[in-house]
Amino acid sequence: MSDILTGLAFLLIIEGLVYALAPRFLVEMARLLPSIPEQQLRVAGLSVMAMGVALVWLIRG
């Protein structure tokens, strides 16, 4: 359970950094998202998720 909470804490840290260091980039991405096809967003999301799982597997391996 502590690993899940630690992971969630790191997620919040990274999210906060994006808002603090690159707010214009975040706003521009929000404007761009509706123009990207749903299927492409889904594939990108699944790819990033798979990379995260692989990274955890390598680290914990």
CB 59 within 8 A of CB 52: no
pLDDT band at 14, cuts 50/70/90? very high
pLDDT band at 61, cuts 50/70/90? confident
Predicted TM-score (pTM) above 0.95: no
Which token pair is 23?
A: 């707010």
pLDDT at 50 over 90: yes
SS3 60: helix
The ranges assigned to domains in the chain are 2-60
Q: Summarize pLDDT for 19-46 with one digit per residue, the tens.
A: 999 999 999 999 999 999 999 999 999 9
